[in-house]
Structure 1
């Protein structure tokens, strides 16, 4: 009799364990009206390699770049469920700076309605609607952007991307191996609106629950700025003295804006209470 009771108890424990695992795998339905947080981690790289300031990287243009600065603005986050319904993060709080120099790689979204999210949408830069609200309405973010070298003057607005360093050119591509500086300051101007949006599928559902925080790990590829769908060669953008390359206006900014629509991919999603990268 005792042996039978032990067997029954063992079967019950096994059943509870299997049900528990099944519940963890499938996820329980979120309680109505509850919310949680979402963290996004931006992992900067160059054509599949980790981006390290001071390291050199050679692109398909025959140019070898050493990055000394790589900073960009991401904004206007939207989380999308499988049925297409969207949660738009409050606009006034939806502007963030990712800065390789200072080690700022995370975006933390608070009070996101509990649910299962399959896509994420966000902007690169600051949209015209926000900019035209005026300086007073966005003073705190303007000050933050200024502190991170992401502004021009107020009349000319924000830098969306600030990418700087030095480069050399392979003689086979018309270079002379001389090291020259480069500056790429991407943003909108009076002629063009260079703000862009990206929509990315999540490889795993991001489960937002009260007390649980999914971590979405994104990879950004600095190489696509110059070496994306449309190529831009730094040595064709030298100043009059031929001592440095500067890209801050003109058609190249439109090209960069379009290239950067493919700068981001989602690597993986961690669901749970902790922070993962």
Structure 2
């Protein structure tokens, strides 16, 4: 009996130590700053996006071969487990995701160390930033122009440039398509997306979390609102273009469900690099 009692006491002591250590890990304050990265993994309805290669069929029966997917993400906010929102500096918070140039990772530098459970970001450029004028954003405007994400300055940015060819049950042969989505004088098509992380992203001075997002390009036309490219064919019946009107509003609302979190990797290395 004495032997068993000694083992029980020892086991309880170990358990108490483990609980104490876990509590220390949960409650110990962190300080300093660190970095975080957000990787945008472009896909089409669950399949990897392969430019100029694969054909992807949507629920409208239209088969798309995609040769361009570029878009602007902006205004990043990390939300801590206690609800505190850490806003990345606005002047540095605009990024180009360019599948063709393998530019798919956003690096957030100098974020306060902490445990983060949500991320929020915008798709496109908000009106507040645009109205600051060309001089205030010339360097980003030039980057966007290099990725075919601008019209003229007076008409602004393309938030999404989505292009390729398609076939449809209603068409004879392959046609081109262009989807250039952005704000215009009639509507503000900038949208913000908030995503809950499946596990905590730990920002530390020596630990950089990588938040891996899946971006589903299929949702652009095949989301809550179904948009047929066939309906946007030009009079020559050679191609479809969606660059204005109700289509842009529908696309903006579709993109609210375009992104989801696949996983969060915490660690000092083994991250996605450009």
Q: Compared with structure 1, are the counterparts of its residues 210 and 28 closer, same or farther at alpha carbon in structure 2 (3 Å cutoff)? A: farther
Displacement of 1:26: 5.0
Correspondence for 1:31: 30
For residues 19-50 of structure 1, give each alpha carbon's deviation from its aligned partner in whole angstroms, at most 9, with x where no partner exists: 6xx66x95673433x01000111000000000
Displacement of 1:211: 1.1
For residues 94-140 of structure 1, give each alpha carbon's deviation from its aligned partner in whole angstroms, at most 9, with x where no partner exists: 00010011000100000000111010000000000000000000011
Q: Could you tell me which of 185, 190, 195 is aligned with 1:200?
A: 195
Correspondence for 1:44: 42
Correspondence for 2:94: 95
CA distance in 2, matches of 1:141, 1:67: 25
Displacement of 1:144: 0.5
Q: 2:250 is paired with a residue of what secondary structure?
A: helix
CA distance in 1, matches of 2:28, 2:207: 13
CA distance in 1, matches of 2:60, 2:130: 35
Structure 1: runs of 5 or more not aligned: 1-10
Correspondence for 1:228: 223
Structure 2: runs of 5 or more not aligned: 1-9
CA distance in 2, matches of 1:138, 1:123: 17
For residues 185-234 of structure 1, give each alpha carbon's deviation from its aligned partner in whole angstroms, at most 9, with x where no partner exists: 00000111000000000000001111110000000000000000000000
Q: 2:233 is paired with a residue of what secondary structure?
A: coil
Q: Compared with structure 1, are the counterparts of its residues 136 and 275 closer, same or farther at alpha carbon in structure 2 (3 Å cutoff)? A: farther
Correspondence for 1:175: 171
Q: Does 1:106 align with 2:105?
A: yes
Q: 1:157 is paired with a residue of what secondary structure?
A: coil
CA distance in 2, matches of 1:80, 1:268: 16
Displacement of 1:269: 0.2
Superposed CA RMSD: 1.9
Q: Could you tell me which of 211, 217, 223 is aligned with 2:206?
A: 211
TM-score normalised by length of structure 1: 0.88
Correspondence for 1:246: 241
Displacement of 1:236: 0.4
Q: 1:123 is paired with a residue of what secondary structure?
A: strand
CA distance in 1, matches of 2:229, 2:138: 34
Q: 1:231 is paired with a residue of what secondary structure?
A: coil
| 1:3-22 correspondence runs (5 A) | none
Displacement of 1:242: 1.1
Q: 2:178 is paired with a residue of what secondary structure?
A: strand
